[in-house]
Amino acid sequence: MHDLSDFRSDTVTLPTPEMREAMANAELGDDVLGTEPTVNKLEAMTADLLGKEAALFVPSGTMGNQIAIALHCKPGDELICEFGAHTYNNESGALARLAQAQVRPIHGRMGVMDPKEVESLIRPNNIHNPRTALITVENTHNAAGGTIIPHDNVLALAEIARRRGLKYHLDGARLWNAHAATGMPLKEMCAPFDTISVCLSKGLASPVGSMMAGSREDVERGRYMRKQLGGGMRQSGILAACGIVSITKMIDRLKDDHTNARTLAEGLSKLGAAKVDLETVHTNIVYFDVPGREHEFDAWLGRLRERRVLAMYLGTRWRMVTHNDVDADDVQRALAAWKEILA
């Protein structure tokens, strides 16, 4: 068991010893000048892994998503996404600031959008309407509970996008978790999309970094936008070295996180006061409610910390996330703490 059991997010993961060694030994250049060999290697490896022509190393998932959206949307255009999408709710209004696009959100079920509803919201070609330019999907879907978007739904939305002349983007921050849980090849999961953003700094434990992948033309346009946004990181091979460890060594072990999340969710559901929808626990994220006791939540943060457990609540829901730096013993510590608090 760790000294502190931190379930706030999988973003709190620390680089592994192998990553620290890779950082120390990384061959370096200057990424802005195109002479960063370790970054170039990571970009080529990621593009091959996802089945795309090229990939771009960016500092964050938000930057990867927002570059992709700006590639596809002109100012005044509209995109369609699920109501709880990270790109819409948790990226500081970047859609409006950077792409200058507006959003037409859909209330999905467990993050899944109804294709018929999506198609019904595509604007007709009319001088009064914004141009519908893009459909975005988030897989796994954070706000829905780390849920996996079924591939038949992905394909149905892709068919609509192609037929109606729209672009199609995947916010795949935790796509690795969907791959580990389903066994579906990453290339197959990514094939329907024009662009993809994937994170290295969540379940894959890199300290910094995400990848935006797509056609060679889109990636080169994205490289220009990255520079505009201040994302040219010079000797970023130190970080890319960790990313190489992430994509070669850290994907298969995500299944352990899923097992721990399931144990945590089932244990919480047995406490009575915690309301967990076990149907949504597909991967490494557990949301739960404690109805009628929301006024106690702030105090509970302190009581959890006294028991060496960190968690967080968002509005009226608690969220706990499993990752490389919590294990089965940490899960039992958390369950013991919640049993005392909810008694």
> What are the CB-based long-range contacts (under 8 Å, 24+) for 91-99?
91/62, 91/65, 91/66, 92/62, 94/62, 94/66, 95/66, 95/69, 98/66, 98/69, 98/70, 98/229, 99/66, 99/69, 99/70, 99/73, 99/75
Per residue in 51-101, pLDDT tens? 999 999 999 999 999 999 999 999 999 999 999 999 999 999 999 999 999
Which pLDDT score is estimated for 52? Answer: 98
pLDDT in tens, the chain (343 residues): 789 999 999 999 999 999 999 999 999 999 999 899 999 999 999 999 999 999 999 999 999 999 999 999 999 999 999 999 999 999 999 999 999 999 999 999 999 999 999 999 999 999 999 999 999 999 999 999 999 999 999 999 999 999 999 999 999 999 999 999 999 999 999 999 999 999 999 999 999 999 999 999 999 999 999 999 999 999 999 999 999 999 999 999 999 999 999 999 999 999 989 999 999 999 999 999 999 999 999 999 999 999 999 999 999 999 999 999 999 999 999 999 999 999 8
Which amino acid, 169?
H
For the four alpha carbons of 80, 83, 85 and 91, in that order, the dihedral sign comes to: positive
- Report the C-alpha gap between 274 and 338 in whole angstroms: 9
Which pLDDT score is estimated for 343? Answer: 87
Coil, helix or strand at residue 207: coil
Structural domains in the chain, sorted by start: 5-12+253-341 (3.90.1150.10), 17-249 (3.40.640.10)
Contact of 85 with 136, CB cutoff 8 Å: yes
Contact of 233 with 34, CB cutoff 8 Å: no
Contact of 303 with 341, CB cutoff 8 Å: yes
Which pLDDT score is estimated for 230? Answer: 94
Per residue in 141-190, pLDDT tens? 999 999 999 999 999 999 999 999 999 999 999 999 999 999 999 999 99
Which pLDDT score is estimated for 271? Answer: 94
